[in-house]
Amino acid sequence: MNAVNAAAVSGGFPAKPAASSGEGPAGRLPASAAGEFAETFSDAELLGQPMGYWSGAASAAIVARINRAVGRFGLAQRNWWVLYRAGAEGAAEGGGLTREEIVRVIAESRPFLDDAVLGPAVDEVVAAGLLEEVEGRLVLTARGRGLRAKLMGEVIPATLAEARAGVSDEEYVLTLRVLRRMIANTGGDTSFAP
């Protein structure tokens, strides 16, 4: 049985590293915590592995890294989304957004997200003194504007660059095209409004 068929028979999931030795199947060592990476699977082995596992693992790892980065400022990714949207072009010029508008705009751009976390995320940003209510609308405070600028200008770009280290623009675009094709093939929504 070749590696592709063996993976299909085992359910297609990559084997987890053995707990006792720190090594994976066939003595493979996991990537270090520092993010060093060496490909350990052959093309044939990868063909037998589930895209859903790897896309989910990538999503979880990137979100965890963003949470660590913005966590230094007492935030989580959901709070960053609130700051980002509250200060987006048009929001500040229009006198801010209501709590419901912020939740709606984020939920529209993140349809896979449980939007029940968004209202509390807005409340957390208000409680932190980064947003304030003015005539029923939420606007960034001076502290909120400063933090948003730092996150947008330094923290988030550096964090995303770290995630993309060693990945060319062509590989990145190809990966997104493949994921979008698979989403379309399975009847999912390929629209995205950043």
Contact 131, 86 (CB under 8 A): yes
CA atoms lying within 13 Å on the CB side of residue 11 = 5
DSSP state letter for 134: E
Domains present along the chain, CATH in parentheses: 1-49 (no CATH), 50-185 (1.10.10.10)
Cα(192)–Cα(194) distance, rounded to whole angstroms? Answer: 6
DSSP state letter for 111: T
Single pTM value for the model: 0.75
Nearest by Cα to 103 from 87, 94, 115: 115
Cα(133)–Cα(137) distance, rounded to whole angstroms? Answer: 5
Cα(194)–Cα(178) distance, rounded to whole angstroms? Answer: 19
pLDDT 10s per residue in the chain (194 long)? 333 333 333 333 333 333 333 333 333 334 544 567 788 899 999 999 999 999 999 999 999 999 999 999 999 999 999 999 999 877 767 789 999 999 999 998 888 888 899 999 999 999 999 999 999 999 999 999 999 999 999 999 999 999 999 999 999 999 999 999 999 999 998 888 77
